[in-house]
Amino acid sequence: MSSVLTEREGHLAIITVNRREKLNALDHATVGDLQRTVEELAADQAVGAIILTGAGEKAFVAGADIAGLKGQGVLGGHANARHGQSLTQALEDSPKPVLCAINGFALGGGLEIALACDMRFASSNAKLGLPEVSLGIIPGYGGTQRLPRLIGMGMALEMILSGDHISADEALRIGLVNAVYAPEDLLLEVKKKAARMVSRGPQALAMAKQAARRGAELSLDEGLSLEADLFGMISSTEEMEEGLGAFLEKRKPSWLRS
């Protein structure tokens, strides 16, 4: 059975990590399969938003498959980190909104994948953490870089250097997740969030995401210049004409999706 499942609901694509017997832990092949799936969906004009979740009720992704890390050496460790970083970068670079439904354990590489998504929503029984230092290693899929940018250096270092798990409620308090839902409601609520985004202009979504993502790494002046450039670009599109026309004519817009 495939370790990565994809299903469609209209313009919404749902990716499920499907290694239930391993708590959806990531091996080398699964990381590659996930990256290819994300890139294919990101390029598909019919897809308006992507949801990433895990199979079963216990785990989103419980980390890396530890057996595959032992004895990897300097070159192997570097290659392994870059392999995982290619996946997290693909998630971040997707022009489509990517929402993460954290349905249980999100540890190590699992949390790092979640950090690369645009939004994170957790079930009330979720546990999140970067436990790598307890194994004598460090996060390698972007966790040391994205977590401080999201929740601040102090809280991030507490999580990274302790290796401790935190609850879904604590993750919400520190801004690591957007919302917490009962386990049975999680995927439905995330689908509702994604559906709202799918109802918006597809080019506008991509440019707004680009402005926010790229602008966060720039000075304010540079970010404002980027925003103005993108605002100019969107102003030349049929999508803008349709969106403004629909508003003035008091009707729903008809976006150009396959």
- Considering the candidates 40, 57, 92, 112, report the single residue annotated as catalytic: 112
| Cα–Cα distance for residue pair 95/83, rounded to 1 Å | 21
In the structure encoding, which two tokens stand for residue 20, read together? Answer: 């239930």
Please state the separation of Cα 21 from the chain's center in Å: 23
Query: Based on C-alpha coordinates, what's the Rg of the chain?
Result: 19
CA nearest to 231, candidates 205, 198, 207, 201: 207
- Strand order, beta sheet including 119-123: 4-9, 12-17, 49-54, 98-102, 119-123, 179-181
Tell me the helices (H) and strands (E) count for the chain, helix number first: 10, 10
CA pseudo-torsion sign 103, 161, 145, 217: positive
**Helical residues (DSSP H) of the chain, grouped into ranges:** 28-43, 73-93, 109-116, 143-151, 153-162, 168-173, 186-198, 202-215, 220-234, 238-248
Phi/psi of residue 177, nearest 5 degrees: -125, 155
Answer yes or no: are the C-beta atoms of 166 and 128 closer than 8 Å: yes
| Cα–Cα distance for residue pair 127/13, rounded to 1 Å | 25
132 given a catalytic annotation: yes
**Beta-carbon count within 10 A of 4 CB:** 19
- Considering the candidates 9, 40, 132, 238, report the single residue annotated as catalytic: 132
Q: List, by residue number, the catalytic residues.
A: 112, 132
